[in-house]
Amino acid sequence: MLVETQGLTKAYEGREVLKDINLTVQEAEFFTVVGPSGSGKTTLLRLIDLLEQPSRGRVIFNGVEVGDSERERHALRRRIGMVFQQTVLLNSSVYDNVAYPLKIRNQTEDTIYRKVQETLELVGLKEFEKRKATTLSGGEMQRVALAQAIIYEPELLLLDEPTVNLDPRNVAIIENVISHVNKNLKMTVIMATHNMLQAEQLADRVAILKEGELAGIGHAEEIFGKPSDFLASFARLNNVFSGVSHVDEGGLAKIDIDGLELEATITRTGKVTLFIRPEDIILSTSPIASSARNTFRGKIIEATDLNRNVQVKVDVGKVFVATITRRSFQEMQLNLGSEVYLTFKASAVHAV
C-alpha cells in the first residue's frame, strides 16, 4: 500500500504534538520513524491507522484521500494492521486472540483454524494456542499481538516500538517476522522506534521526528552516515562510522573510514556501517602491548561526567567516544587536550 501524508497536524488541547508532516511511503517499503519519546511517533501511527482524526492535513492511501465517513475509515482499517507499544490482549486463549480478526471478518472455522496455525508457527507460539493470553510473558504477549496484526494479511503494517523492553530472543523473533512479511508478503511497514541500530538494520528509509516535526528523511545510510547531534542525543549513536571493508585471506576485515584503517572480525565486504560500544574502548596514556588489533593515538576534546563514569571524546582523525570510570579518569590525570591511546579488539567492531 502506498501511504502519503500531507500537512498532517495533530493538536491536543491546543498543543501541537505533530506539525505539518509530509511523507510518502512506497508500496512494500520498510519505513522507520525514529525520535525520542514524546516526539510524536505514536500520534503519527495512530493517525495513519485512522484511530484519530488529524487537526489539519490528510492521509492518502494508494492516491485516494481518506474521507470522514466511519464506514470508509472502517473499511480502510481492515487493510491495516497495527502493533501497539502497550500490549493489550483479549481475556481469552492465545488461539481466540489470534483468531479474532478473522472471526470479525466472518471467515469460516476451517480457514480460521488453518490461518491461526500458520501464524502461530510464524511467531513461534504453536504450543501456546490453548494458554490464556494474559498469563504469557511480555515478549510472548507481544508476539501474539504481532500475530493478530498480520493474520489478516494487511497491506500496511504499523509498529509502535514493537520490541521496546523485550529480551534479545523475543526481539530477534519479532524482527524476523516483520522482515519476512515485508520481504515475502510485500507488506508495507511503518515502524516507530528509538533503537537506531534496529532502524538501520531493517529499514529502507528513515524519518527523524523531533518535537513533532520532521527533522530529516532519507535512506538509512545517509541518515546514520552523518549523525546529527540531535540524533546522537537520544539514539546513543556514538562511534557509528561508514567505511569500505576488504576481507583478507585470514578472514579479518580491514575497513577504511576516510583514511583511518580499522580491523574487524566481520565478513562483509564493500560499504559497511560500523559501531563500537564506548565501553569496549580502552584508554591509555602510552601504547599498550596487547592482543587487541586496533590502537590509535589522539587528543581528548571533550569529557562529560556521567555519574560514576566519564564519557570521553577523543579525536584520532575521527571522533571516538569511550566510557571509563571516573576513578580511572582521575588516576590517569586526564584532561582536555591530553594525548591518549585508544585500543579495542577487532571483535568489538560491529557491523550494523
Partner 1 sequence: MNPILEGLVKALWLLVSLDPEVYSIMFLSLRVSGFAVIIGAALSIPCGATIALRDFRGKRFLMSIINTLMGLPPVVVGLLVYLLLSTSGPLGPFQLLYTPTAMIIAQLIMVIPIITGVTVSAVSAVDKGVREKALSMGATGWQLTVTILREAKIGLLTAVIVSFGAAISEVGAVMIVGGNIRWITRVLTTAIVFETELGEFGIALALGIVLLLLAFVINWVLTQLQWSGLRR
| Cβ atoms of 152 and 105 closer than 8 Å | yes
Q: How far apart are CA 172 and CA 301, in angstroms?
A: 37
Q: List, in order, residues 6 or more apart from 207 with CB less than 8 Å away.
A: 23, 31, 32, 33, 34, 214, 216, 217
The CA radius of gyration of the chain, in Å to the nearest whole number, is 24
The grid cell for 108 is 469460516
Q: Which is nearer to partner 1, 119 or 239 (CB)?
A: 119
Which span (88-96, 190-198, 277-285, 296-304) binds partner 1, by CB under 8 A?
Answer: 88-96
Q: Which is nearer to partner 1, 116 or 149 (CB)?
A: 149
Which span (87-95, 189-197, 212-220, 340-348) binds partner 1, by CB under 8 A?
Answer: 87-95
Cross-strand bridge partners of residue 191: 32, 159
Q: Identify the residue among 51, 60, 197, 316 touching partner 1 (CB under 8 A).
A: 51
Report the candidate in 232, 208, 195, 215 with the shortest Cα–Cα distance to residue 352.
195
Q: How far apart are CA 275 and CA 284, in angstroms?
A: 21
| Cβ atoms of 78 and 105 closer than 8 Å | yes
Q: How far apart are CA 181 and CA 214, in angstroms?
A: 27
Least distance (Å) from partner 1 to the CB of residue 174? 17
Q: Which is nearer to partner 1, 27 or 52 (CB)?
A: 52
Residues 95-124 that bind partner 1 (CB under 8 A): 100-101, 104-105
Q: Identify the residue among 22, 72, 74, 304 touching partner 1 (CB under 8 A).
A: 74
β-sheet with 205-210: strand ranges across: 80-83, 156-160, 188-193, 30-34, 205-210, 213-219
Least distance (Å) from partner 1 to the CB of residue 106? 10
Least distance (Å) from partner 1 to the CB of residue 82? 5
Cross-strand bridge partners of residue 276: 349
Q: Is 77 in the site for partner 1 (CB under 8 A)?
A: yes
At 181 the three-state DSSP class reads helix
Q: Is 327 in the site for partner 1 (CB under 8 A)?
A: no
Q: Is 148 in the site for partner 1 (CB under 8 A)?
A: yes
Q: Identify the residue among 84, 95, 296, 344 touching partner 1 (CB under 8 A).
A: 84
Residues 186-225 that bind partner 1 (CB under 8 A): none
Q: Which residues bind partner 1 (CB under 8 A)?
A: 49, 51, 70, 74, 77-78, 80-82, 84, 86, 88, 90-93, 100-101, 104-105, 132, 148-149, 152
